[in-house]
Structure 1
């Protein structure tokens, strides 16, 4: 015979899990702020808070694009490589060809949108799983960036293959994009715009329907292929913006500069699933996930944790986020 205490305990455990699922990320951020703020004197300073926001700006923008691809059941693993391509193209347009800021940004965005079209064409028409196809194109686009730059860093006054020096200059106006407050304002605008689009427009709701049940969405008359195409174009667009801002921040194009942002973007997007119990990819959750990663990195650096140990922490956070997400789905 079942006692009354049994069901009560089970219900309490269930409610506790739901509470941690909804608010665990936010509680973790508050705990980290409290711990790092207590251990280090400068962690809660205005300068350091701005540094954290600046440090997560690029990864947040790239992660937002990845989030859009996740809404339709996709998974664009090529965002880091697209950011590398954007970084290389825009800096080379300034340094090698002496183009203006407007032309440089327009050409770079157009080039990256073409990459997004390639991704969408391969995924939609060949019906290959999104993650597998974009894993392949990730290496292709990474190779494109390397081939285009000949494996060298693109910067002002660099030595060209013929032995001469590059004469183009990176515009001062372009450099402003990568500085405070513009880099932070651009990030916040992107997060707000995508949140409004996904939450309050019919197109955003259609994307969620496609990600939830593609066959049912097709039977409902939704143009599934068109929205999947749009998702990959948006993903490529934000990866391009991330690569452009990266170029403005460092004023050069390093080899595979965008690739390290992939892991952080994936972690931020999947952490966002559980924020406030959303249970789905969402812009605000992705931003909170990026904030969590940024606080972790900043705090660990202040505690003199070696840089090569950072991936252990980020990988553990991603594993925990995936465990929470998929365990919740299986219940």
Structure 2
């Protein structure tokens, strides 16, 4: 009898600890965001002002769009490391279409998306048909596309009135309509529409549910009659598509194509996607969670800048956040 009572007493702390972990897993990200808002607002009252909130949303727009592509690849238990390079390629192509070839907005955007989808098709073929592990393949693709973008631009910044290799001046102009894409409120609207559409797709359509089934158990999905390979191909194509959109929005925002301009967005996008796993206890890649993850990163960056933390220390904070998100995600999956 005493042994039974003792066992029950031992189980109680374990149960309470488990319940606490469950609570933190579900609401930890939201609590962290609220805590950061309170801390940064106390340190600098301008942090909570409407203009700064808009600035944060604008700053996370490109990260969120690219991270949504990673989210889709994660839904089928894949992973796309090439999104930063694809964004760089998209950025270079869309600006060069204006500056070098004097094309209109539609042609420039379609060209950038087409070039990016070629990368998605390459990833799909190598991963699905040749069975190369996705992380290794997309890592290789990252370097290939990075080099391709550099070769295409000849290592130069592409901008209006630039000096061409033959010494002449570029005569093409960036469309004023295209320039508005990267401005408020359009850049925030594009982000919001992207998040909502992908959330609906993954949560409420059979195709999205199939992707989650594949991500949970590929063999069970195949035995259920789901065309696994087709959905994996679609996932990597969609990942490339959203990376392309991110690159296009970036191009509109800065109106130039810098060398490897999309590379800095990779780490933030990966962190946002993995943080999203735990938001409200989802336990899987999801668009709303990814957006919340991007908000967390945006608040951190903005608040640290306001507190005059050196820019070179930012990666330490972002890396720590990503490590924490991965620890929570994979511990939960045990």
TM-score exceeds 0.5: yes
Match of 1:317 in 2: 321
Match of 2:95 in 1: 91
Equivalent residues in 2 for 1:197-276 (5 A)? 197-276=201-280
Q: Give the deviation of 1:41 after TM superposition.
A: 1.7
Match of 1:295 in 2: 299
> Structure 2 CA distance, aligned partners of 1:140 and 1:93?
21
> Structure 2 CA distance, aligned partners of 1:84 and 1:147?
12
Match of 1:283 in 2: 287
Match of 1:129 in 2: 133
Q: Give the deviation of 1:128 after TM superposition.
A: 1.0
Selected match of 1:151 from 140, 145, 155: 155
Q: Give the deviation of 1:3 after TM superposition.
A: 4.8
Q: How far does the alpha carbon of each residue in 1:191-212 deviate from its partner, in whole angstroms, 9 at most, with x for none?
A: 0000000000110010001111
Q: Give the deviation of 1:5 after TM superposition.
A: 2.6
Q: Give the deviation of 1:108 after TM superposition.
A: 1.1
Selected match of 1:167 from 168, 171, 179: 171
> Structure 2 CA distance, aligned partners of 1:3 and 1:166?
79
Q: Give the deviation of 1:110 after TM superposition.
A: 1.3
Q: Give the deviation of 1:111 after TM superposition.
A: 1.4
Selected match of 2:114 from 95, 102, 110: 110
Work out whether 1:306 is the aligned partner of 2:313. no
> Structure 1 CA distance, aligned partners of 2:322 and 2:212?
23
Q: Give the deviation of 1:81 after TM superposition.
A: 0.2
SS in 1 for 2:159: coil
Q: Give the deviation of 1:10 after TM superposition.
A: 1.2
Match of 1:12 in 2: 16
Work out whether 1:25 is the aligned partner of 2:35. no
- TM-score for the superposition, normalised by structure 1: 0.99
> Structure 2 CA distance, aligned partners of 1:115 and 1:130?
13
Work out whether 1:35 is the aligned partner of 2:44. no
CA RMSD between the two structures = 0.6
Q: Give the deviation of 1:4 after TM superposition.
A: 3.6
> Structure 2 CA distance, aligned partners of 1:241 and 1:152?
22
Q: Give the deviation of 1:106 after TM superposition.
A: 1.1
The structure 1 segments of at least 4 consecutive aligned residues displaced by more than 3 Å after TM superposition are: none
- TM-score for the superposition, normalised by structure 2: 0.98
Unaligned runs of 5+ in 2: none
SS in 1 for 2:45: coil
> Structure 2 CA distance, aligned partners of 1:226 and 1:204?
13
Match of 1:193 in 2: 197
Unaligned runs of 5+ in 1: none
Number of residue pairs the alignment of both structures matches: 330
Q: How far does the alpha carbon of each residue in 1:167-205 deviate from its partner, in whole angstroms, 9 at most, with x for none?
A: 000111101000000000000000000000000011001
Q: Give the deviation of 1:8 after TM superposition.
A: 1.5
